[in-house]
């Protein structure tokens, strides 16, 4: 798109390539050929070791600066097994690229490229009354608390909920895609989609990207014609049905409270919600990466609804610690 | 972590697997079934990388069913095992190898019972008994010592119990529950009286 201005654009090495593209678009067409990119890869000091992962320069999630905060995360979502024989791995050295970007390799990134929800606690469990889902609302980037009010429950439709743990963008994008596919399936079959089908759709989708850096640990909870249903799906490709799950860096703390109280919480929806709230609260107390507000949802035969949203500090007064 | 075992007798195959589905240090599920039914008389026991197991096993399962639909009769255990191994081998040197360890157990009306051991490098071996996982290090010698070719069903269950009790005693991980199945000319039957009861999920 040619614009009337004819100013010369100085591109300094500090500019990012995407800014360069913007400048390129306002340079008149006659100058386009002359405006060559000033950096072409070799001259840049690459201070960080390159990752072998596909799309590494975009995702930037395997770079060393993330590794410290990834310790907890890697325990939950371990990397690919090292037992795969050497012959099928990429050979050591710079990663293969299909085509070099036209303006050379991107400059070394300054700061985290995007936020990941490493730290979180989410849980869900089934009871005859339905499925109770509880989440915290803290988002961290390393040791910085990026937000205390993240919505970690994503509705797939009126009867099915998905939770978010891992990468926020991964979770919300893929679950929205699954929501769309579920709606199409419902329109085609004239029957509400089952939770098993919704979770299988999600599991098959993320399996295609296995090993490419997706980070997703979600529970698909809903009520379908077979009753309450709960599935855990993650970016490793695992998909299991179960009665109770907790996901996230605080999951082990939540499991403790949840498992010990499950026997008594099956009676009513209120008791189930109280147990869920307490389990997330205890996890938020122990896990540094969980906190904010505790949101509790309940999925019954009529669909899901939010039962409560309490600040952790308010719960501390209520539980009297 | 995960454990599979198979024992072949004169007219049956006994297979068992643990029922724990774990992620890092957490047991997510206590009653996870790792046996996939390929056909009326063939079972595929599959352990390994979390997503690969289900995806690969279901892929083989659907293909075996497709063969039956197209041709009107079921694949024999030998053919199914070789088909499975072929797929493992084809994907081994691709960008997406399947990291799965398998036991395929079946009964053929002409050939009799068969137990096949396969691993993630696409090795295939027909064996009278086999095991996968760390538990195999503890139990293969028990199978060597007490197995005999004409082993009866009761003896096979006793041998299985010996193996599982050894795991309880010496294996560092807590594998509390297993499920076991017989395959014979009547089909697939569940075994109820193995020593460790299933834990309520």
Q: Which parts of B155-197 are beta strand (E)?
A: 178-184, 187-191
Contact A76, A251 (CB under 8 A): yes
Residue A79 pLDDT: 52
| Closest CA–CA distance from residue A78 to any residue of chain B (Å) | 7
Is B146 domain-assigned? yes
pLDDT, tens digit (0-9, with 9 covering 90-100), for A196-217: 999 999 999 999 999 898 999 9
Residue A321 pLDDT: 64
Is B7 domain-assigned? yes
Collapsing DSSP to helix, strand or coil, B123 comes out as: coil
pLDDT, tens digit (0-9, with 9 covering 90-100), for B69-108: 999 999 999 999 999 999 999 999 998 999 999 999 999 9
Residue A54, pLDDT above cutoff 80: no
Asked if A81 and B99 come within 8 Å (Cβ–Cβ), the reply is yes
CB atoms within 10 A of CB A190: 6
Residue A65, pLDDT above cutoff 70: no
pLDDT, tens digit (0-9, with 9 covering 90-100), for A139-163: 888 888 889 999 999 999 999 999 9
Range with top average pLDDT, A33-42, A117-126, A165-174, B177-186: B177-186
pTM: predicted TM-score of the whole model, two decimal places: 0.74
Residue A38 pLDDT: 52
Is B197 domain-assigned? no
pLDDT, tens digit (0-9, with 9 covering 90-100), for A109-143: 433 444 444 589 999 999 888 999 999 999 888 88
Residue B37 pLDDT: 96
Residue A37, pLDDT above cutoff 90: no
Distance CA B101, CA B59 (A): 15
Is B105 domain-assigned? yes
Domain total in chain B: 1
Residues of B near A (Cβ–Cβ under 8 Å) read 21, 23-26, 28-29, 32, 49-52, 54-55, 92-97, 99, 120-121, 201
Residue B25 pLDDT: 85
pLDDT, tens digit (0-9, with 9 covering 90-100), for B97-117: 999 999 999 999 999 999 999
For testing contact with chain A, the best of B31, B51, B199 (most A CBs within 10 A): B51
Write phi, then psi, for B155 (nearest 5 degrees): -65, -35
Q: What percent of chain A has pLDDT over 70?
A: 63
Collapsing DSSP to helix, strand or coil, B2 comes out as: coil
> B33 lies in which domain range?
2-189
Residue A43, pLDDT above cutoff 90: no
Distance CA A214, CA B19 (A): 27
| Closest CA–CA distance from residue A208 to any residue of chain B (Å) | 10
Q: Under 8 Å CB-to-CB from B99, ≥6 apart: which residues?
A: A81, A83, A84, B48, B49, B52, B120
Collapsing DSSP to helix, strand or coil, B169 comes out as: helix
Q: Choose among B24, B26, B93: nearest Cβ to A88.
A: B93
Find the length of chain A.
321
pLDDT, tens digit (0-9, with 9 covering 90-100), for B5-44: 999 999 999 999 999 999 888 889 999 999 999 999 999 9
**Helix, strand, coil content of chain B in percent (nearest 5):** 35, 35, 35
Nearest Cα residue in chain A from B200: A243
Beta bridge partners of A221: A161, A230
Residue A264 pLDDT: 83
Nearest Cα residue in chain A from B52: A237
Distance CA B152, CA B134 (A): 27
Residue A188, pLDDT above cutoff 80: yes
Collapsing DSSP to helix, strand or coil, B16 comes out as: strand
| Closest CA–CA distance from residue B47 to any residue of chain A (Å) | 12
pLDDT, greater one: A75 or A313: A313
Write phi, then psi, for A53 (nearest 5 degrees): -75, 145
Q: How many CB pairs under 8 A join A and B?
A: 66
Residue A118 pLDDT: 59
Residue A58 pLDDT: 53
Q: Under 8 Å CB-to-CB from B35, ≥6 apart: which residues?
A: B15, B17, B43, B44, B45, B179, B181
Distance CA B185, CA B57 (A): 23
Residue A41, pLDDT above cutoff 90: no
| For range B183-196, the mean pLDDT | 85
Is B201 domain-assigned? no
| Closest CA–CA distance from residue A189 to any residue of chain B (Å) | 22
Residue A28, pLDDT above cutoff 50: no
- The catalytic position among A27, A120, A163, A218 is A120
pLDDT, tens digit (0-9, with 9 covering 90-100), for A67-102: 444 444 445 445 554 444 444 455 555 555 555 444
Q: Choose among B21, B24, B121: nearest Cβ to A75.
A: B24
Q: Under 8 Å CB-to-CB from B159, ≥6 apart: which residues?
A: B7, B142, B143, B146, B147, B151
Q: In Å, how far are A121, A220, A269 from A265, measured between CA atoms?
A: 19, 20, 8
Is B200 domain-assigned? no
pLDDT, tens digit (0-9, with 9 covering 90-100), for B115-126: 999 999 999 999
Strands A122-127 and A244-247: antiparallel
Using a CB-CB distance cutoff of 8 angstroms, which residues of chain B are in contact with residue A78?
Answer: 23-24
Asked if A75 and B52 come within 8 Å (Cβ–Cβ), the reply is no
Residue A21, pLDDT above cutoff 80: no
Q: In Å, how far are A123, B14, B20, B58, B112 from A232, measured between CA atoms?
A: 10, 31, 14, 18, 40
- For chain A, the three-class secondary structure string (H helix, E strand, C coil) is CCCCCCCCCCCCCCCCHHHHHHHHHHCCHHHHCCCCCCCCCCCCCCCCCCCCCCCHHHHCCCCHHHHCCHHHHHHHCCCCCCCCCHHHCCCCCCCCCCCCCCCCCCCCCCCCCCCCECCCCEEEEEECCEEEEEECCCEEECCEEEECCCCCEEECCCCEEEECCECHHHHHHHHHHHHHHHHHHHHHHCCCCCHHHHHHHHHHHHHCCCCCCCCEEEEEEEEECCEEEEEEEECCCCEEECCEEEECCCHHHHHHHHHHHHHHHCCCHHHHHHHHHHHHHHHHHHCCCCCCEEEEEEEECCEEEEEEEEEHHHHHHHHCC
Name the pLDDT band for A107 (thresholds 50, 70, 90). Answer: very low
A181: tokens are 């596919």
A89: tokens are 């791995």
DSSP state of B98: -
The beta-carbon contacts of A30-33 under 8 Å, at least 24 apart in sequence, are: A31/A6
Is position A120 annotated as part of the catalytic site? yes
Number of H helices, E strands in chain B: 4, 12
The predicted complex's ipTM stands at 0.87
| Average pLDDT of chain B, as a whole number | 93
DSSP state of B113: E
For testing contact with chain A, the best of B49, B56, B95 (most A CBs within 10 A): B49
Residue A134 pLDDT: 97
Residue A55 pLDDT: 55
A261: tokens are 């109280």
Q: Most distant CA pair in chain A: distance in Å?
A: 76
Asked if A76 and B23 come within 8 Å (Cβ–Cβ), the reply is yes
Residue B47 pLDDT: 96
Using a CB-CB distance cutoff of 8 angstroms, which residues of chain B are in contact with residue A241?
Answer: 29
| Closest CA–CA distance from residue A32 to any residue of chain B (Å) | 39
DSSP state of B196: S
Is B36 domain-assigned? yes
> What's B104's domain CATH number?
3.60.20.10
CB atoms within 10 A of CB A68: 10
Residue A5, pLDDT above cutoff 80: no
pLDDT, tens digit (0-9, with 9 covering 90-100), for B136-150: 999 999 999 999 999
Asked if A76 and B201 come within 8 Å (Cβ–Cβ), the reply is no
Nearest Cα residue in chain A from B20: A240
pLDDT, greater one: A141 or A185: A185
Using a CB-CB distance cutoff of 8 angstroms, which residues of chain A are in contact with residue B95?
Answer: 88
């Amino acid at each position: 798109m040619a614009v009337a201005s004819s100013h010369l654009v100085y591109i300094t090495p500090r500019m990012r390539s995407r800014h360069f593209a913007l400048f390129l678009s306002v340079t008149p067409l006659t100058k386009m050929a002359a405006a060559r990119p000033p950096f072409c890869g070799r001259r840049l000091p690459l201070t960080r070791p390159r990752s072998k992962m596909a799309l590494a320069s975009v995702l930037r999630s395997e770079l060393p600066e993330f590794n410290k905060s990834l310790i907890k995360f890697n325990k939950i979502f371990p990397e690919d097994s090292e037992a795969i024989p050497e012959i099928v791995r990429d050979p050591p050295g710079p990663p293969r690229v299909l085509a070099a970007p036209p303006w050379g390799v991107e400059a070394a990134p300054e700061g985290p490229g995007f936020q990941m929800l490493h730290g979180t606690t989410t849980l869900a469990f089934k009871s005859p009354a339905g499925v109770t889902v509880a989440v915290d609302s803290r988002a961290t980037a390393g040791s910085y608390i990026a937000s205390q009010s993240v919505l970690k429950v994503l509705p797939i439709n009126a009867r099915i909920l998905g939770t978010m743990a891992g990468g926020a963008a991964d979770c919300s994008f893929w679950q929205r895609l699954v929501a769309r596919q579920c709606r199409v399936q419902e329109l085609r079959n004239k029957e509400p989609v089952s939770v098993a089908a919704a979770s299988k759709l999600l599991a098959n989708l993320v399996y295609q990207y296995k090993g490419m850096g997706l980070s997703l640990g979600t529970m698909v909870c809903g009520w379908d014609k077979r009753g309450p249903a709960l599935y855990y799906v993650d970016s490793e490709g695992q998909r299991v049905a179960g009665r109770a799950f907790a996901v996230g860096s605080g999951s082990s703390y939540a499991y403790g409270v949840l498992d010990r109280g499950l026997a008594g919480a099956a009676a009513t929806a209120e008791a189930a919600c109280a147990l869920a709230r307490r389990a997330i609260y205890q996890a938020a107390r122990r896990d540094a990466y969980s906190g904010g507000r505790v949101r509790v949802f309940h999925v019954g035969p009529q669909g899901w609804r939010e039962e409560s949203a309490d600040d952790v500090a308010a719960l501390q007064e209520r539980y009297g610690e | 972590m995960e454990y599979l075992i198979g024992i072949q007798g004169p007219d049956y195959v006994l297979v068992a697997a643990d029922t724990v589905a774990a992620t890092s240090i957490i047991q997510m599920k206590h009653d996870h079934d790792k046996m996939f039914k390929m056909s009326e008389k063939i079972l595929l026991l599959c352990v390994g990388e979390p997503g690969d197991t289900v995806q690969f096993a279901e892929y083989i399962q659907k293909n075996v069913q497709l063969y039956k639909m197209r041709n009107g009769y079921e694949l024999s255990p030998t053919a199914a095992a070789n088909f499975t191994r072929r797929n493992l081998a084809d994907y081994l040197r691709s960008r997406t190898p399947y990291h799965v360890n398998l036991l395929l157990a079946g009964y053929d009306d002409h050939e009799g019972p068969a137990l096949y051991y396969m691993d993630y490098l696409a090795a295939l071996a027909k064996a009278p008994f086999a095991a996968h996982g760390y538990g195999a290090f503890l139990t293969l010698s028990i199978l060597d010592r007490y197995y005999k070719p004409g082993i009866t069903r009761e003896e096979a269950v006793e041998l299985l119990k010996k193996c599982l009790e050894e795991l309880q005693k010496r294996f560092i991980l807590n594998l509390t529950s297993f499920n076991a199945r017989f395959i014979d000319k009547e089909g697939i039957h569940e075994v109820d009286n193995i020593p460790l009861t299933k834990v309520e999920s």
